[in-house]
Structure 1
Amino acid sequence: MNKSLSTRLMYSFMAIIVIVVVGITAGTSYLIADYFFKIKEEELAQKGHEMADTVEYFVTKDNNRYMLMRYLIAVDRLVGARVWLFDNDYNLLAASNIAADVDAAGKTESGSNKVGTGKPDVSMPAPADRIPVYEYTTRLSEEIKRGQVSRNVNKILKDIYRGESVRSQIYHPYFKQQVILVGVPYGDKLHPRGAILMAEPLSGFGGFLRNVYIFTIIVGLLGLLLSLFMVRSLSRQIVKPLLSMKDATIAIAKGNYSRRVEVESEDEVAELGKAINHLSTELSNYLGKLARMEKIRRDFVANVSHELRTPITIIRGYNDIVSDSLETGDPNKRYCDLIGSETTRLERLVRGLLDISRLQSAEKLKVSDTEPLPLAEIIRNVAEKLKVKAEPKHITLKLQLEEDLQILGNGDQIVQLILLLGDNAIKYSPEGSYVRYETKLQTNGSVEMSVVDNGPGIPEEDLPFIFERFYKVDKSHAQSSLKGTGLGLAIAKEIVRMHGAQIEVFSQMGMGTRFVITFPAETVVCEERRS
């Protein structure tokens, strides 16, 4: 379905705004996330390296598991990251998120204090393999080894045991969310004693991004609403002069050359409006010149045709006198006959020119010049006259007429129209063929009259020109029997125009020709008009 220019402009602006908002949101989110991840990774890595010495102390020199776990919990709360401590054999030693083991470690620690002192016994070092591992930590270690996280953790730990620091963003199956994971070794860099993994869930950052998206959506919707009003206003400014230009060009096409486009701005649209106004002025001037030239031509043809009638009549009269005075066998009598036939043809030409000039000088029939005409009766009378031309060629005149059809028109002109079309059909129809007249009342109240022959047809390239004066399809004039003035169809067209009707021609080579005249409903005499 076609959409108006204003609608397309609105959709285009809205699409641009949506693309810009989505692009800005995606770019901003990416930049914020990238910056956040880098900062967090640096922060966790730095904290991990700071923890390494303390963790090594607890693992190698102090068997106070309770204090180690309390330290991990403190770091957890400080940086907001879960801390897991592994030995160099992929075993989990402690985790900051297991409260039950912290309680168990606290009870163990209180039982191991020196009697009467209330202080832990730290006189002997505590190697890693002697640090107690409690129930929940042991269970978590087994889950890590057996579960989905095993492959990722083992790969990360392997890199850490080689003395490397690891930074990654992964989906952590244990925590059921995306995390920033940083791992650093502790102990000797060439031979680490174990690994510290710090995992910070991104739930908080996800909430921040959701807020960014919500804010962006709100801003985008406001931008769309604002653009809707702006585009509607802008489209009116653009489309309004275009609509005015459309109306002006339609009026110009219909002949109203005084119509002008109102130009108020100085942009390209205004330049187009000025160009249309200039075109209208030039067309008006040009057509005025053509009208004056056409009037001069018509007056000239009418005057010359009128002046020719008298000398032609005199020539014909004297030729008849000379012809009558000659004996039947006299060779000069043949010359007189030729002069007579050409004089008759010249008279027909002058009469046709006068008819066209008279018809063209009148815009339309006056009401006083019209009368109800019985179409079927007129066609039958004309057919009787045409039998004289049809019988030598054995052409049958067929009549398919609807009785009681009457039209308002000039009787002489309608008779001339029917006679011209019938004579033209007979002239171009082969011997033994037919010419058919048809009349029919249409559903819209108009009357259609057709003249059909089965002659050779008219070439398609000649159809647009057959109603022009002196135009002949047979340009070679090879067939002397088909000679004519070339004015018949031009006169027919003028008669049709005078009656406010329309004439069309349909032809196919070798299949004949059909002329169709349609008289409008307002010229048809209905029962009310007859009464």
Structure 2
Amino acid sequence: MVTVLLGLGALGLSMSVLAKNYIYDGTKEELLRKAKKVNLAIQNYPVQADQTAAMLAFLDQTFDTRIWVFNRQGQIISTSTQDEVFIGKSVARSIVEQVMQGKDVVQDLKFEGLTKPMMSVVVPWGQKDEVFGGIVLHAPVEGIEETVGNMREMIVWATLFGILLCTAMVSYLSWTISRPLKRIDDVALQIERGNYKQRVIVETEDEIGDLARTINRMASTLDHIETERTDFEKTRQDFFANVSHELRTPLTAMQGFLEALQDGLVVDEMSRQKYYDVMYKETMHMSRLVNDLLELVRLEKHEVNLVKRPIDMDSFLRRIVFMFKEEAAKRNLELHLDVVVPLPAIIADPHRIEQIFINLVNNALKFTEQGSVTLRAWEKSGGIEVCVEDTGVGISEHDVELIWERFFKADRVRSRKEMGTGLGLAIVKELVTLHHGTIAVDSRVGEGTKFTVWLPGETEQE
């Protein structure tokens, strides 16, 4: 605003000075032309002749100027008005000398009796070879001063209007800049206090809008990081709680049996053997739990190195079915294998692939009370798709997304009965991902569950 005001002031001052000089210069040039016309009109008249006075009066009315005529001595000998107050007075000697040399003089002359400001020009009076004296033309400068004054007044009013306009513009700009900045500052304070849900609502497309959108992206990133941190903390707490629970259950049972044996409460050998058998099973359960935990941690940290080689999936799946034939018979379940030959060869780690399907078939048998478990395999998308389907209790829609988490058990009563660790499916998912495959589940409560594993073929891996 200061810059604009200084510019307006400098421009107004320059315009007024230039306008005044232009008007004064134009007026002086016009007076000189009029003075030379007067000289042409009276140069042949005798001094103080009636014709000269009449001509001066006529020219006064025509040019709207006062005309004086002085002789070679500088004395005023005739005027264009009837007022004789100036007749006999003298013009400055320096002006007379210049006029007698044939020069024009333009300057402000001061005479007694002139009360109004006048602009004066002096030209020689006479002909080329003879100079009789000089002719003085006076023009009032009141109109010029009034014009310049009006111009300056307009400039002042324009400057005042510029001040008001600049004030309004600066206030508006300040408001449009400071308001979103204040909003950004408030949101930044909320973010500093940990409220990452706050957002800046700025709809402008300027730099402030860019800053607001950057703040919003930062808040969104921090909110995401905080959510992940909270989820990780919850997962960590759940992990320790689950590990503690899974270890405490067999340890409590073993402690009870050991105390009974130590106190001599079990006297016959058959009962002691039963106690030993239970403690052995609990020890094996803890060993499996620890091994599964270590295995899962290694998989998640990508510390497992696969020893890949070609696998004939037809004979491999037949061997898996053969391994669980006896277990299925004990549970009065049917175990089927349905292979669409030929199956393409895959390049994988046989031990890890066996671990995947042993977990899936074992789970299918555990959660199926009657009916059957079926393994199906066929070629698909350059690889092999294997489906493990059962007619068991199924998994609820809410639990389907949670079965891949560590220690999650969809049927906790049956899980305790079967002594599961709750880590099998988490390990399976990591192993399938490690082989660049996919695994999906489709289940309905009371109807059964189907796990579908796709593994890339030899050409796909190349």
TM range (shorter): 0.3 to 0.5
Larger-Rg structure: 2
